[in-house]
Amino acid sequence: MARVQLEHVTKRYDDVTAVDDMNLDIDHGEFVTLVGPSGCGKSTTMETISGLTVPTEGTVRIGERDVTNLPPKDRGISMVFQNIALFPHMDVYENISFGLRLRNYEKEEIDKRVDEAAEVVELEGMLDRMPDEMSGGQRQRVAIARAIVRDPDVFLMDEPLANLDAKLRVHMRTQLQRLHRELDTTIIYVTHNQAEAMTMSDRIAVLDTGQLQQIAPPLVCYNEPANLFVATFIGSPSMNTIEGEITNDGFASTYGQVAVEFDPTAFGLTPGQSVTLGVRPEDVYVTTLVDDLAHPTAPVPTRSDVLEPMGDEIFVYLVTEDIAEGGSMEEGSDPGEILMSVDPDSDVQEDQEMDVILDRSKLHLFDEDGEAITHGLVEAPAAASGPAGTEVEGDD
């Protein structure tokens, strides 16, 4: 069984902590993606699992073995990197079989494994081609086949699609999902691309400054982010966030008020408490364009500023009426904007005054430290625990 466990793993480079007290438990057969901005520690975490770097502190286990100090060749892993690194003087067969030939496998076994791997990645009939005769996607599939033939316990993939064009990345995402299903093995994947993380993963681990922020299924991270960082990082475009304070009937900020008509004390809140309100663009509606919304806020007067047609939707940047008139924005502060998503056939125009409502069931509140207070202002949470299905790094 290819369970992968990181127990209090820390990696320091002089005075820089690349990974800080990382705890991960990945089950056999899971597809887990490490995602985060550049410099967040995701590649260092991958290198620690692979054995390319030794942790300063902590333990790495693969299966039942402590592999913390084992070299990569003894860990039962295969890696696929961003840079494909095929041997240019070898044909596809020779590239795929290189590792097996190095380990003196029998010719019959090598042929069998190469044929099976080529079938999985759809390279049948191309085994005699040279790398410079192939497209970028085909070369990447050769690299994946080279990893498959080793029959590893764990696949480690470090941004393998980053150098491909957009259309080919979408195609290869589908290929990797099929690969995971057919091989029924553990895959740990590193990317900064949210589309890859959201579409392929059983769970995603969101990292920032070397620390694990949340590990949960993609939609849990999207709908129930553990903190403000996850809320703004997961989702494209990002969640709208507005700093302000709780009032007796809702939320107020420099940029205006949102009347929610709820009992703050039922959510453990007190009037005057500083919070950050979050709402995703798809949960903002023009009052004249929505027929029925189960849990709307009171209307908020706004004006459309910039429109971005995206084909299947239009992104509308809104400013509140107060900001549009310059009446309530503090001097020197940035203009407050709300991003809204509308259907492409809507008649919204630039510089148009409109009332918008927010879906109360999709409003998020975060405390001064950025930790989630609640997701939805309809019913008070039963307990003060984190969102269901969420594991958050904490102090032991």
- SS3 per residue for 119-183: HHCCCCCCCCCCHHHCCHHHHHHHHHHHHHCCCCCEEEEECCCCCCCHHHHHHHHHHHHHHHHHH
State the Cα–Cα distance between residues 349 and 241, nearest whole angstrom. Answer: 24
Using N-to-C axis directions, what is the helix angle for 166-183 and 136-148, rounded to 10°? 20
Q: Do residues 79 and 156 lie in contact, with contact meaning Cβ atoms separated by under 8 Å?
A: yes
State the Cα–Cα distance between residues 253 and 244, nearest whole angstrom. Answer: 4
Name the pLDDT band for 332 (thresholds 50, 70, 90).
very low
Q: What pLDDT sits at residue 382?
A: 60
Is pLDDT of 291 > 90? Answer: no
Give residue-wise pLDDT tens across range 108-152: 999 999 998 888 888 888 999 999 999 888 888 898 889 888 888
**Do 190 and 66 reside in the same domain of the chain?**
yes
pTM as predicted? 0.85
**Do 248 and 284 reside in the same domain of the chain?**
yes
Name the pLDDT band for 88 (thresholds 50, 70, 90).
very high
Give the mean pLDDT of 337-363.
Answer: 93
**Do 90 and 212 reside in the same domain of the chain?**
yes
Q: What pLDDT sits at residue 262?
A: 82
| Count of structural domains, the chain | 2
Greatest distance between any 2 Cα atoms in the chain:
80
One-letter amino acid for residue 176 of the chain: L
**Do 206 and 291 reside in the same domain of the chain?**
no
Is 124 domain-assigned? yes
Q: What is the DSSP letter of 227?
A: B
Is 369 domain-assigned? yes
Q: What pLDDT sits at residue 328?
A: 39
**Do 144 and 185 reside in the same domain of the chain?**
yes
Is pLDDT of 201 > 80? Answer: yes
Is 384 domain-assigned? no
State the Cα–Cα distance between residues 114 and 127, nearest whole angstrom. Answer: 9
Give residue-wise pLDDT tens across range 142-192: 988 898 888 888 999 998 888 777 887 888 888 888 888 888 889 999 998
Give the mean pLDDT of 189-207.
Answer: 93
Is pLDDT of 329 > 80? Answer: no
Show the tokens assigned to 158: 């470090």
Is 313 domain-assigned? yes
Is 266 domain-assigned? yes
Question: What range defines the domain where residue 50 resides?
Answer: 4-228
**Do 210 and 282 reside in the same domain of the chain?**
no
Q: What pLDDT sits at residue 386?
A: 44
**Do 221 and 256 reside in the same domain of the chain?**
no
**Do 22 and 136 reside in the same domain of the chain?**
yes
Q: What is the CATH number of the domain that holds 137?
A: 3.40.50.300
- SS3 per residue for 256-288: EEEECCCCHHHHCCCCCCEEEEEECHHHEEEHH
Phi-psi region of 143 (alpha: psi -120 to 50; beta: other; left: phi over 0): alpha
Name the pLDDT band for 258 (thresholds 50, 70, 90).
confident
**Do 243 and 295 reside in the same domain of the chain?**
yes
Q: Do residues 190 and 199 lie in contact, with contact meaning Cβ atoms separated by under 8 Å?
A: no
**Do 239 and 276 reside in the same domain of the chain?**
yes
Show the tokens assigned to 226: 């553990």
**Do 223 and 134 reside in the same domain of the chain?**
yes
